[in-house]
Amino acid sequence: MKTRLILVGGFLGAGKTTLLWEAAQRFAERGLRVGLITNDQAPELVDTAFLARDNVKVAEVNGSCFCCNFQGLLDAVDQVRTAADADVIIAEPVGSCTDLSATILQPLKDFCRSELVVSPLSVMTDPARLADILDGGTAGLHSSAAYIFRKQMEEADLVVISKSDLLSADELEVLKKRLAQAYPRAEISAVSAKTGDGLDEWLDSVAAQSESGRHVAAVDYDVYAEGEAVLGWLNATLALRGKPTEWNVFAERLLRGLSQCFDSRGAAVGHVKLMLVADDGFLIGNLTGKGDTLNIRGHAGTSSSARLIINARVQMTPDVLEEIVRGRVVSSCSGDLTATDVAWRCLRPGRPKPTHRYNHVVTC
């Protein structure tokens, strides 16, 4: 029995992880066994910790992107297939990666056709950035990072507008038409993980089709490498302990402080994610741009200790990013808490060196 593999790409902050969680729940409601695979340049991922809380089988490929560690992806697929006896696996590549059709989908179709059915490549796009990108702008990103954003949509089989609840019906239709004109080879749809609008339609589409990676984009790896390298990359886990603290207030104070620091420097935010786990629950915080994008879901209650995971992708050098995050953590603790490092990685991604790169579409 073959397992269906659904790859969901898209730029940082597009809402992929929330969509993965919702998709996993809906597939389970349809009686299907589901596994998930996350991906990052470093361990200590908010995404993995969040997705694993609901007893979904999750494998993580860290230290490099799927394309540069293709065997790591295959191992993760085998791990999830075995652990979950999965009918469906949904995989989320690094948000700053592109060229997925050439480096992931074509090799999968070539090497794994007896074990996997590979669904069309879905690329999620944040409407807050999309309109400016379609206008020829950069959505506040470095021009090379905006190049990655565009290439992701160019190679997509399906371009999916995420967070559609933020748009009026008229605004959504205009954006769909503009996308269809700019990327005529892709199917266009829209979803809202918050309201559920369009989610079942997207799932029906990716679960029924088996023609994936229908085209290979031409990618300038010098520009691509620069687009990733302009981002500082921080993954950290901290133990917080001290006086009883209302953790939702703490998380909002931390994210607002970080946002103010980044905005004052004119530093574009790819995303900042945090997950805080305490005795009475957990919360997820997100920042995908300026301060008005701040969002906190869940409730962690009030207690004297918690575990905090922070992932930040911001357009600045790693040392400056580390200094800002450490400073805002200390400031947010306000002398009432101590923050102890459990794990801390801050880096700048290296040049992509894919294991495989096909210049043609593999037919199954």
pLDDT tens per residue, range 76-131: 999 999 988 999 999 999 999 999 999 999 999 999 999 999 999 999 999 999 99
Residue whose entry in the numeric block shows the structure tokens 């992708």: 313
CATH 3.40.50.300 boundaries in the chain: 3-227
CATH 3.30.70 boundaries in the chain: 232-347
Q: How far is CA 48 from CA 14, 61, 101, 294, in A?
A: 17, 10, 24, 21
Q: Which of 179, 215, 164, 211 is nearest to 19 (CA)?
A: 164
Asked whether 44 and 235 are in contact (CB, 8 A), the reply is yes
Average pLDDT over the chain, rounded to whole?
94
Instruction: Write out the H or E segment, with its range, that includes residue 86.
Output: none
Kindly report the pTM of this predicted structure.
0.94
Architecture of domain 232-347 in CATH?
A: 2-Layer Sandwich (3.30)
Q: Which of 253, 242, 325, 332 is nearest to 285 (CA)?
A: 253
Confidence at residue 22, expressed as pLDDT on a 0 to 100 scale = 92
Considering the domain 3-227 in this protein, what is its CATH number?
Answer: 3.40.50.300
pLDDT of 53 higher than 80: no
Q: Percent helix, strand, coil in the chain (nearest 5)?
A: 40, 30, 35
